[in-house]
């Protein structure tokens, strides 16, 4: 259900672009310096697979991208409902943190979705581009790009993260409430499933 939706930064009343075509998504994001590509889905990798299984399954793709982009640190982050009694607290805290608009000074934000989904919102040149990513999608947001991320009210995903710096994720929060103006992960996902991507 990969989907790109673009609105004016003033709000979601007017849709500038809406497409689920991977080639169109890549072409629309390229002028922003955003990398979008799809990797083969390894159907034998469980949705909640740990790092060892993920690295074994996607080793060639990880090695290729790391060599191309000079990444020095790669890890696997997973968040799934289940038997973990701490899941509700951890999920709410993680969602709240990433929902705040921010930038990164020293590193790109590059994620590959092994399972599940998430939405990256890119706030660039007077527009907001919401990229709903799912299993098989890789998105690379360049350092300095204003953005936020929503994993939904009940997060369930596993992602490979790529870093140039060992410090990992360091965000500079803008203090803007713009994220509250636009449809969240759950709304976009529900709308896509109900209406399809046409339009």
pLDDT digits (tens, 9 = 90+) for 96-124: 989 999 999 889 999 999 999 999 999 99
Name the CATH superfamily housing domain 3-195: Jelly Rolls (2.60.120.10)
SS (H, E, C) the chain: CCEEEEEECCCCCCCCEEECCHHHHHHHHHHHCCEEEECCCCCCCCCCCCHHHHHHHHHHHHHHHHHHHCCCEEEEEEECCCCCCCHHHHHHHHHHHHCCCEECCCCCEEEEEEEEEEEEEEEECCEEEEEEEECCEEEEECCCCCEEEECCCCCCEEEEEEECCCCCCCCEECCCCHHHHCCCHHHHHHHHHHHCCCC
Q: State the pLDDT at residue 199.
A: 41
For residue 17, pLDDT over 80 is answered with yes
Query: Lowest-pLDDT range, 47-56, 148-157, 187-196?
Result: 187-196
For residue 198, pLDDT over 60 is answered with no
Q: Find the mean pLDDT for residues 47-72.
A: 96
For residue 85, pLDDT over 80 is answered with yes
Q: State the pLDDT at residue 166.
A: 76
Q: Find the mean pLDDT for residues 167-188.
A: 91
For residue 191, pLDDT over 70 is answered with yes
Q: Where are the domains of the chain?
A: 3-195
Q: What is the mean pLDDT of the chain?
A: 93
For residue 197, pLDDT over 60 is answered with no
For residue 11, pLDDT over 80 is answered with yes
Please enumerate, by residue number, every residue annotated as part of a binding site for Ni(2+).
Answer: 102, 104, 109, 147
Please enumerate, by residue number, every residue annotated as part of a binding site.
Answer: 102, 104, 109, 147
Please enumerate, by residue number, every residue annotated as part of a binding site for Fe(2+).
Answer: 102, 104, 109, 147
């Amino acid at each position: 259900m990969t989907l790109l939706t673009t609105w004016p930064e003033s709000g979601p009343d007017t849709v500038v672009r809406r497409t689920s075509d991977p080639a169109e998504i890549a072409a629309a994001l390229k002028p922003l310096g955003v990398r979008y590509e799809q990797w083969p889905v390894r159907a034998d990798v469980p949705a909640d697979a740990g790092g060892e299984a993920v690295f074994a399954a996607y080793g060639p793709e990880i090695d290729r991208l790391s060599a191309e982009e000079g990444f020095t640190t790669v890890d696997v982050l997973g968040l799934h409902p289940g038997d973990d009694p701490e899941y509700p607290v951890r999920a709410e805290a993680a969602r709240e943190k990433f929902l705040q608009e921010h930038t990164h000074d020293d590193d790109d934000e590059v994620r590959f979705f092994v399972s599940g989904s998430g939405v990256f919102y890119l706030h660039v040149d007077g527009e907001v581009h919401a990229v709903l990513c799912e299993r098989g999608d890789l998105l690379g947001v360049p350092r300095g790009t204003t953005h936020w991320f929503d994993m939904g009210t009940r997060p369930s995903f596993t992602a490979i993260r790529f870093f140039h710096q060992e410090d990992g994720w360091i965000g500079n929060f803008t203090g803007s409430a713009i994220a509250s103006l636009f449809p969240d992960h759950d709304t976009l996902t529900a709308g896509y499933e109900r209406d399809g991507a046409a339009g």
